[in-house]
Structure formats: structure tokens, C-alpha cells
Amino acid sequence: MECKRYIDKAINGFSKFSNRNRVFILSIFVGIIAALAAIVLKSAVHFMQSMLQNAFPEDNFNYLYLAFPAIGIALTVLYVKLFVKDDLSHGVSKILYAIARKNGNLKAHHMYSSIISSTLTVSFGGSVGLEAPITLTGSAIGSQLGSFFRLNDKSVITLVACGSTAAVAAIFNAPVAGVVFAIEVLMLDLTTASLVPLLISAVTATSTSYIILGRGIMFNSTHVLNFEMDKLPFYMFLGIFTGLYSIYFMRVSARIEKFFAKIKRTSLRLLLGAVSLSILIFFFPSFYGEGYNSIMEIMRNDVHQLFINSPFYFFQYNEWLLLVFLFLLLMLKTFATAFTTGAGGIGGVFAPSLFLGSIAGCFIATLLNTLFDMEISVLNFTLAGMAGIMGSVMKAPLTAVFLIAEISGGYQLIVPLILTVIVSYAVIYPFEQFSVYTKSLAMEGNLVTHHKDKQALGKLDVKDLIENNFTTLSPDATLRDLVDTIAHSTRNIFPLVDENKQFYGIIILDDVRQIIFEPDKYDTVMAKDLSFMPDVFIYPHELIADVAVKFKQSGLYNMAVLDKDNIYYGFVSRANLFSKYREIVEEISED
């Protein structure tokens, strides 16, 4: 009791600051805490991986690769099923849904559950990334802090974005990429009120990670070569290749995910996915875990290291077999990632997209150098390939460009990076208009976009707009009953509803205005004879955007809300809908 009083006192004291200043202050703490969470996650994964890998026998065929991924995914499934009891997959999609439908409110367990589950998955070899789980963790930290200090919905959403920004900035030591990520991927509305907290969190998180881990968080220093103008057409070719591959990645991943979703038995999903993943990792050990070590080997132009511990080890020095091997990595990594998540593992596609981009860039550079005896920089093409696939799959071209430039120190490559990303994005867009994060949300109508009107409509719910002050009549009512109802009603629409709430139609006052002044018909004319069944209805769970279209196309001012069993709920009025819409637009437009 005493503790609660002190907490309330602290909250009340903090509330004396203006709302903007409170967000600024909290964005500092979000940055620090999210950075610490990222450091804990990365350190835990690297520690466990080193322990497990030291147990590998020193030969080219490590059969423990067959066991570890299955064990990790099994532990993840057990942890989620027994302790979390909630869906932890698709971390970034969950953030987007929280912004769109829950005013930024994320469950408290997301502050730690994704860290534990993704650690179990990735450290044992799950072929996914840690960025999505830590991004969800950071966002949950921002959400909980905002809710704890009783900030308004817009401020909570800003802190959610601050958490994501801090997570990306801390993991990659890339503050600019972190800010752009929040704007581009989370689709946060860009205003001064939202931009400054993002910058604060990005700088705070980057400083925290730098103090604790130094600069070598992701990639060591790389010696990027200046690009040559006559090589730009080849970067365009790389962009075409990465764009086409991104289509393949998204389509194959979606199909495998649907396949696993149809399997109802958890044990069967686990067995099928884990065994398939283990076999792939056995033949292609670079699929083990996030894949950043493999990226570093490629960036050091030591591609042959990808063959280590693989049955294909003895073919590494044949140039043509090397190309075949790289192509197989491209084709099968998608399956490895999808098998991991399909089996129940927790992780994202951020790291896999970077891994695939590095392989794509290396493959194209090696192919051109082998076929035409050219002198294309494998390192430069590796970086450009990473940007190309990441920008296309995540639909985040600016994030991809700035992230690759920041983590490699290769700002002199900014022109070919932009060129590759633009071409790749242009190739995939006609086929996939939504990102890997937003596709499912868009299909469900739960995607928030940069358009304030769609964002406002997305925050409305049919059930919150239902009006119940329409006086109902029994289907067996007479004209006399109708006249008496009209005398005591303030509305001009009268629904016919029985005792089971079954809907039989409506009566509009203007349609019966003349007959209500004919007393001789009061007991002979039935109300149902004066009613009609409307052509357009609203369903309780219908999207507000679809409701707005119905109002526009029908020209009606009120529409009945009915479920599929014809049960009556009430009416939604055009005036009330657009009044609420204007209120939300004003709220989200405040700077």
C-alpha cells in the first residue's frame, strides 16, 4: 500500500511536465533500456553458440548439426506453450498491429518473452534473425513506460517507435538507420513531435551499446573501394537480380508458412520443420543461426569459408562449383528460414535478408568476373546486394541504404547503393506491393499507412459507433403502435425486431407521414406492411474503411448493424462516423 502511494505520487509529479517534455524524457530511458535488452540478447546468443559449437568434433561432417536446431526449436515451443501462452511470431507485424488497432499497447510479457524464445531458437541454430524479436522487445518497453505514466495514445505510439528505433540503432550501431526504420517500416507519421524523441532514443541507444560493447557490434571495419562510374550498369543488373530474388523469397516463404499453418498438431509441425532445417544446415552450415559470420567471410573475400564443415568442402576451389554452391545457398536459405518459423522457432527475416543479399552480391560479382574476366569488387557488390534484398523484402529502401552505409563505413558507395535499391524495388513492386511485415496485415485491413485518413479509419471500430437510441417495434405491431412510438421517439427510423432480436426491416417516418394521420387505419394496417428490408447492412466486425465506402455508394445517412444470423445490434450514422474520424485526424495531426 505504501509502495503504491509513492508510485502514484511520482506519477503525479511527473505529470506536471508538459506532454511533449514527458515524451522527451521517457525516450531517453526507452533508448537505454532497449539498448541493454539488445546487448543481453546478442551476448546470450553468442555465449550459447560458442558453447555448443565447441562441442562439435573437428572434422568436416558435424552430425550435431542434425540435433541442435531441433533441440532449440523444441525448447522454444515448450517455453511459449507452457509459460508465455501467446503468439510470439512476426514481431514487427505485432508492432504495426498494435499501432493500428491498439493505440500502441503491447503486452508486458513482450519485454522479455521474445528475448528468451529467440535466444533458444537462434543459439541452437535456427536460421532466423534476432532483430524482429529485439525490436518487439524495445517497442514493448516503450509501450509499458507510456502506459505506466498515463500518456495519451499518440505519445504511447511515439514511445513504441522509440523502442524500435533504439533496438535497431543499438544492434547495428546505426542511429540514422534506426530513425529511418521507425519512419519507413513502422510508418510513423513524421512530425517534429515524433522525430525528436526518435533521435533521442537512437543516440541514447547507440551511445549505450558503444560504451558497453565498443564499435564492433556487427561488422568489423571494412575497406570499401570507391566505385567506378562505368560499373554502374552492373549495379543495375544486380538490382534486377535482387528484385527478382525478393519475389521468390516472399512467395516461397508465404507458401511454406501457409503449409505449416494447416498442420494442427504442434508435434508434427515441430518434427517436420526441425528435421528439414537440420538436414539443410548439415549440408550448408552457413545456415546455422543468423549468418553474420558468413557475411563477414564474404566481405573479407574469403568465400571458401562457406564450405567449412559442409559435405561439399572438397569442391570449394572449382570456380563453377563455387557458383553452383552460392546459387544453392540462395535458393535454399529461404526454406531454412521458413522451416525455422514454421516449426515454431522465434525470429525474423532481417538477418536472413542481409545474408541473402550478401550471397546475391557475391554470386553476381563472381559470375561476372568468371565469365567476362572483369574486376568487380566482391565487397562492394556484397554490400549493394544486402541493400537490394533488404530494401525490397522490407519495402524500406532508405533504411537499407543508410544501414549498409553505416555498418560498413561505406558512404562512398551511396550512389550504387541507391541505384541497386531503386532498381530492386521497381522490379518487385508490381508483384508485391506490401512488405514481408505488412502483407498479412494489409490483407486483413489492419495496416496503418502514412495517409492520415486511413490511419484514422483504422482506429475506429464498428461496435464503438453503434447507436441504440432507435426505438424498435415488434413485427406484429399495428399502425397504432407505430404512431405511439413516433410520438415518443427522437429518431425518424424505426427497426422491426422480435424478442430474439431478429431483424425484419425498417420504417422511415417520411414514408408513413401521410398514413399516420388516418385514424381509421390504425388497427387494420400492420407495421410490417409499411416496412422494407434495406439493401445495405453493416456487420459488427466490418472494417470502417469498407463502411465508409458503403455510405458513399449508397447515399444513406444511417445503416443497420446485423450479424450473419440477422441479429440486430443497432445503427451506425454517417454523421457520427465522420465526426469521430475528424477527432482522430486532429489528434494524430498534432505537432
Confidence of residue 457 (pLDDT cuts 50, 70, 90): low
Q: Tell me the average pLDDT across 179-199.
A: 83
Q: Which residues contact 2 (CB under 8 A, 6 or more apart)?
A: none
Q: Tell me the average pLDDT across 94-109.
A: 87
Would the pLDDT of 181 be above 80?
yes
> 10 Å Cβ neighbour count for 84?
18
Write out the E strands in 174-230. none
pLDDT of residue 61: 47
| DSSP three-state, residue 110 | helix
pLDDT digits (tens, 9 = 90+) for 551-587: 989 888 999 999 989 999 999 999 888 888 777 766 6
Would the pLDDT of 13 be above 70?
no
pLDDT of residue 589: 60
The Cα–Cα gap between 299 and 374 comes to: 18
**Cβ-contact 189, 450 below 8 angstroms:** yes
pLDDT digits (tens, 9 = 90+) for 42-55: 889 988 888 877 76
What's the Cα-to-Cα distance from 322 to each of 248, 309, 362, 366, 460, rounded to whole Å?
22, 15, 11, 9, 55
**Per-chain mean pLDDT for the chain:** 87
| DSSP three-state, residue 572 | strand
H or E element in which residue 496 lies? strand 493-497
| Paired residues of 572 in beta bridges | 559
**CA-angle at 509, arms to 507 and 511, nearest 5°:** 75
Confidence of residue 104 (pLDDT cuts 50, 70, 90): confident
The Cα–Cα gap between 229 and 412 comes to: 12
Which of 73, 88, 80 lies closest to 275, judged by CA?
73
pLDDT digits (tens, 9 = 90+) for 192-220: 777 899 999 999 999 999 888 776 545 55
**Cβ-contact 135, 168 below 8 angstroms:** yes
C-alpha cell at 291: 549468418
Query: 328-356 as b/e, with b when 16 or more CB fall inside 10 Å?
Result: ebbebbbbbbbbbbbbbbbbbbbbbbbbb
Would the pLDDT of 286 be above 70?
yes
Helices (H) and strands (E) in the chain, counts: 24, 4
**Cβ-contact 163, 30 below 8 angstroms:** yes
pLDDT of residue 282: 86
pLDDT digits (tens, 9 = 90+) for 470-491: 989 998 999 899 999 888 888 8
Confidence of residue 287 (pLDDT cuts 50, 70, 90): very high
Alpha carbon dihedral 113, 119, 125, 130, in 10-degree steps, equals 80
Return the residue matching grid coordinates 512467395: 251
Q: Do domains 229-452 and 455-588 have the same CATH topology?
A: no
- The length of the chain is 591
pLDDT of residue 329: 94
Burial class (CB in 10 A: 0-12, 13-18, 19+), 138: buried
pLDDT digits (tens, 9 = 90+) for 323-354: 999 999 999 999 999 999 999 999 999 999 99
Cα-to-chain-centroid distance, residue 106? 13
CATH (one of 1.10.3720.10, 3.40.50.11900, 3.10.580.10, 3.40.50.300) for 455-588: 3.10.580.10
pLDDT digits (tens, 9 = 90+) for 378-436: 889 999 999 999 999 999 999 999 999 888 876 788 899 999 999 999 999 999 988 88
Confidence of residue 143 (pLDDT cuts 50, 70, 90): very high
pLDDT of residue 153: 84
pLDDT of residue 10: 61
Which of 241, 439, 435, 231 lies closest to 357, judged by CA?
241
**Cβ-contact 530, 511 below 8 angstroms:** yes
Would the pLDDT of 226 be above 80?
no
CATH 3.40.50.300 fits 2-213, yes or no: no
Confidence of residue 6 (pLDDT cuts 50, 70, 90): low
**Cβ-contact 537, 565 below 8 angstroms:** no
What's the Cα-to-Cα distance from 537 to each of 2, 262, 500, 533, 560, rounded to whole Å?
54, 33, 19, 10, 6
**Cβ-contact 572, 547 below 8 angstroms:** yes
What's the Cα-to-Cα distance from 405 to each of 145, 359, 503, 575, rounded to whole Å?
32, 18, 62, 50
Q: Which fold has domain 229-452?
A: Clc chloride channel (1.10.3080)
pLDDT of residue 326: 93
What does the domain layout of the chain look like in residue ranges? Answer: 2-213, 229-452, 455-588
Q: Is the dihedral of CA 99, 100, 102, 103 positive or negative?
A: positive
